[in-house]
Amino acid sequence: MNNEEKIDFTIDKTSLVPLYYQIYLKIKEAIDTKKFKAGEFMYSEHYLEKAFLVSRITIRKAIENLEKDGYLYKQQGKPTQVIYPKEIFRLSELNSFTDDMTGKDNITTSILLDFKCILADTAAAEALKISVEKEVYYIKRLRLLNHVIIGLHECYIPKDIVELKESDFMDTNSSLYNILKQSGINIYKADETIEARIPDKVLLDLLEMDNKNAIFYRERITYDKESKPIEFVKMYYNANLFKYRIQLKSQIK
């Protein structure tokens, strides 16, 4: 052990409070007080076992509860990562991914996986109200929050409304909506659906998820002020890291 430990390893073995729960509280306190940053790796189970002088079973029970409560994220074969409690998407607001996550002590980044011009398939053509096989930009990006992969976006934009280049998205901090705005295209409204899905092997690998987990699938059509579709996007999010909030109002006056 060293003098720069982020966790207070002192526990009371004579207390009626279960050891695993005392350890849970010690680790939670270290995360709540930002001694661990989101995306940082937690100490290994072996290290915690030696530090707290308890069994591996006790450590695992504490870790499992921290994962269940949204403080840690475990992936098979990889170190356990620290995450902050689930981010909340407010579905009453239309924002880009960057705007949704910015301002919450978060670091948002993207990794461009694919950028090309393709012929619109049936789904994209119907959403964008264009003819099948008309050219569209296809932009595929991983979305990261505090250095943790949380989602995948597949975006389709009609080629004839804006000129886009692959270099526009090489910057990990690039924002599509900001790029569109700089080109004189302003986002005005959107239609969006959300559902739970079981991801296939390819998506599981991209999101670095275990196959026991479901995902949130969001599909959005974005419009300008003249109600012209300008974007069709498929969004896949790790459901372990998010929850959605909707404010409802009564129609009774």
Q: What is the pLDDT of residues 24-50, one digit of tens each?
A: 999 999 988 888 877 788 999 999 999
Q: In this structure, what CATH number is given to the domain that contains residue 164?
A: 3.40.1410.10
User: Does 91 share its domain with 74?
Assistant: no
One domain, residues 142 and 204: yes
pLDDT of residue 185: 92
Q: Are residues 74 and 104 in the same domain?
A: no
CB of 11 closer than 8 Å to CB of 26? yes
Residue 252 lies in a domain: no
Do 43 and 108 lie in a common domain? no
How do strand 87-90 and strand 242-245 relate by DSSP bridges? parallel
Residue 70 falls in which region: left (phi positive, over 0), alpha (psi -120 to 50) or beta: left
Please tell me whether residues 101 and 157 are part of one structural domain. yes
**What confidence category does residue 89 fall into, taking pLDDT thresholds of 50, 70 and 90?**
low
Tell me: do 224 and 178 sit in the same domain. yes
The number of distinct structural domains making up the chain is 2
Q: Do residues 31 and 109 share a domain?
A: no
Which tops the pLDDT comparison, 94 or 210?
A: 210
In this prediction, residue 240 carries a pLDDT of 77
Q: What is the pLDDT of residues 139-171, one digit of tens each?
A: 999 998 878 888 999 999 999 999 999 999 998
Phi and psi, residue 27, nearest 5°: -70, -40
Domain with 46 in it: what CATH number?
Answer: 1.10.10.10
On whether both 222 and 122 belong to a single domain, the answer is: yes
Among 82, 108, 136, which residue terminates a domain? 82
In a domain, 172, yes or no: yes
Give the residue numbers spanning the domain of 63: 19-82
Q: Is residue 10 part of a domain?
A: no
Both 92 and 77 in one domain: the answer is: no
Looking at 60, 82, 104, the residue that finishes a domain is 82
Beta strands in the chain (DSSP E): 72-73, 81-82, 87-90, 108-119, 135-145, 148-158, 189-197, 215-223, 229-238, 242-245
- Same-domain pairing of 67 and 138: no
Of 53, 82, 111, which residue is a domain's last?
Answer: 82
Look at residues 214, 216, 211 and name the one whose alpha carbon lies nearest to residue 195: 216
Give a yes or no: residue 125 inside a domain. Answer: yes
Per-residue pLDDT, 88: 59
CA–CA–CA angle 217, 143, 190 (5° rounding) = 50
Q: Which pLDDT does position 98 carry in this prediction?
A: 58
Helices (H), the chain: 19-32, 45-52, 56-68, 97-101, 122-128, 176-182, 201-207
CA within 13 Å, CB half, 204: 13
Residues 91 and 115 in one domain: yes
Residue whose C-alpha is closest to residue 80's, from 97, 98, 93, 62: 62
What whole-number percentage of the chain has pLDDT above 70? Answer: 89
